[in-house]
Amino acid sequence: MAAEQGIIEQPGTIGAPRSLSDRPLIARSGIQFWRFMIHKPLGGAGVIVILVVLVMALFPYQLDRYDPEQIFSKVNPSYDPAIAAQAETDPTIKLKYRPEVFQKGEVPLNAAGPSSGHWLGTDGLGRDLYSRIIHGARTAVIVGLGASLIAMFLGVTIGISSAYFGGMVDFLVQRVVDTFQAFPALIILILFNQVVASPTVKVNTISLGIVGFATVVRIVRSSVLAAREEVYITAARTVGANDLRIMARHIFPNITAPIIVIFTSSIGLYILAEATLSYLGLGDPTAFSWGKMVEEGRRVGPSSPLMALFVGSALTLTVLAFSLAGDALRDVLDPRLRGRGGRAGF
C-alpha cells in the first residue's frame, strides 16, 4: 500500500519515535538530563554533588561508621609510671610535668588524624569526624530546603499580588520590602534568635525564610510586571476570568523559570547562613551543624588543622554545587541565553 502511494520507508524506522516528544516520559526525562550534563558540565557536576549530599541527608545511619556522639579513647601515651611513683612521695614533682604524665589508663582520642579506623580523624572531643559530617548534611538540607520553600511561598505570593494589582497595594508592599532590605540580614537573624527561649533548627529555618522573602518579591514582581501586559492576559480578562484565576493559571506558569532558578540558587545561601549562625553560637546546640564543627576545628587549632579543612570543604562544595546548578538552570530556562550556549535539549 505504501509502495502504491509512493511512500518509501527506511529500514528500521517503522514504529520508531520521530522526535523527543514522542518518547515515554521516563525516557524523555533521561535524555533531557543527559543532554543537560553534556552541555552544562559545571552544572552537571553541581547536580552530582547535590545528589550525594541528598543521599547523605536521607540515609545518614546507613552511611556513617559510628555513632556520631561516641567518644573514642586510647591508652595514654604520656603516662610515665616512674614519675607517677615519685609523685606519691614528693608532691612537688607534679608542678614540673603536665597532668597527662600522671594519668594512667585511657584518654579521649582528641583531634586524631585520618586513619583506617577513622577516615577523616576525630574532633576535639574524640568523636568520629566522618560520621559527624554525614549527619551534618541532614541539618544543612533541612534548613536549606525549608528556608527556600518558605521564602519562595511568601515571595511568590506577595510578589505576584503586588505587581498584578499595582497602585496603593504595590506601594505599601514595596515599602515593607524596603524595610526588610534596609537592615543587615545577620542583625535580623540575631534578633529572631534572641526572642526565642532556645534557637532550634525549626526556628532558624523559619527566620531565614522570612529574611529571604524580600529578595524573591523583587524578582517575582519584575517578572509579573512584564507578563501582565501580554496579550493572553488581556484575552483572559475579556472572557471574564477573575483576578485569582488569571494569577494562578496564566501569570504563575509563565514566571516559573526565574522561580526555579531562585529556589535552586538560594538553597546554598541558606545552608551557608545556617552554618554562619552555628559558627557564631546562634544555632541549635543539639543539632549536627557544619558551622559548629568548623568553629570546633578553629578552637582545636594547629593540633588538628585537617578538622576545619574537611568540614569546610564539605560546606564549600555543597554551596558551590547549588550555585553552579542554579546558574546552569538559568541558562537553560532563560530563552534569551539559549543562543549563547544555554540550549541543553529542552
- Domain containing 217 — which CATH number? 1.10.3720.10
Dihedral sign (CA 239, 245, 246, 251): negative
Task: Let me know: does 160 contact 251? Beta carbons within 8 Å.
Answer: yes
Q: Tell me the pLDDT band of 268, cut-offs 50, 70 and 90.
A: very high
Number of domains in the chain: 2
209 with 315, same domain: the answer is yes
pLDDT (0 to 100) of residue 220: 93
pLDDT (0 to 100) of residue 336: 55
176 with 90, same domain: the answer is no
pLDDT (0 to 100) of residue 58: 95
- Domain membership flag for residue 238: yes
204 with 297, same domain: the answer is yes
Mean pLDDT (the chain, rounded): 84
> Looking at the predicted structure, is the pLDDT value of residue 344 above 80?
no
pLDDT (0 to 100) of residue 236: 86
Taking only the tens place, the pLDDT of each residue in 38-63 is 888 999 999 999 999 999 999 999 99
Q: Tell me the pLDDT band of 334, cut-offs 50, 70 and 90.
A: low
Instruction: Give the closest residue to 160 by CA, choosing from 269, 244, 40.
Output: 244
> Looking at the predicted structure, is the pLDDT value of residue 131 above 80?
yes
- Domain membership flag for residue 21: no
157 with 205, same domain: the answer is yes
> Looking at the predicted structure, is the pLDDT value of residue 123 above 80?
yes
Least confident of 87-96, 107-116, 143-152: 87-96
Alpha-carbon distance 19 to 59, whole Å? 38
Share of the chain above pLDDT 70, in %: 88
pTM: 0.83
pLDDT (0 to 100) of residue 33: 78
241 with 101, same domain: the answer is no
Q: 3-state class of 6 per DSSP? A: coil
58 with 101, same domain: the answer is no
Q: Which residues contact 244 (CB under 8 A, 6 or more apart)?
A: none
pLDDT (0 to 100) of residue 21: 66
pLDDT (0 to 100) of residue 228: 83
223 with 134, same domain: the answer is yes
pLDDT (0 to 100) of residue 343: 43
Share of the chain above pLDDT 90, in %: 41
pLDDT (0 to 100) of residue 11: 52
Range of the domain at 56: 47-67+129-340
Task: Let me know: does 205 contact 140? Beta carbons within 8 Å.
Answer: no
> Looking at the predicted structure, is the pLDDT value of residue 148 above 60?
yes
- Domain membership flag for residue 280: yes
Q: Can you tell me the mean pLDDT for 96-107? A: 71
> Looking at the predicted structure, is the pLDDT value of residue 264 above 80?
yes
Q: Measure CA of the first residue to CA of the last residue in the chain; give whole Å.
A: 37
324 with 249, same domain: the answer is yes
Q: Can you tell me the mean pLDDT for 242-261? A: 88
257 with 199, same domain: the answer is yes
- Domain membership flag for residue 82: yes
pLDDT (0 to 100) of residue 313: 94
pLDDT (0 to 100) of residue 175: 92
Q: 3-state class of 106 per DSSP? A: strand
> Looking at the predicted structure, is the pLDDT value of residue 272 above 80?
yes
- Domain membership flag for residue 328: yes
Task: Let me know: does 176 contact 161? Beta carbons within 8 Å.
Answer: no
What does the block give as the cell for 159? 510578589
83 with 156, same domain: the answer is no
142 with 98, same domain: the answer is no
Question: Which range among 76-80, 173-177, 224-228, 234-238 has the greatest average pLDDT?
Answer: 173-177
Alpha-carbon distance 92 to 158, whole Å? 73
> Looking at the predicted structure, is the pLDDT value of residue 331 above 60?
yes
> Looking at the predicted structure, is the pLDDT value of residue 79 above 90?
no
- Domain membership flag for residue 224: yes
Least confident of 2-6, 191-195, 300-304: 2-6
Q: Tell me the pLDDT band of 234, cut-offs 50, 70 and 90.
A: confident
- Domain membership flag for residue 12: no
With 0-12 CB in 10 A as exposed, 13-18 as middle and 19+ as buried, what is 46?
buried
Least confident of 119-123, 238-242, 259-263, 334-338: 334-338
Three-state SS annotation for 243-268: HHHHHHHHHHHHHHHHHHHHHHHHHH
- Domain membership flag for residue 293: yes
Alpha-carbon distance 323 to 333, whole Å? 15
85 with 188, same domain: the answer is no
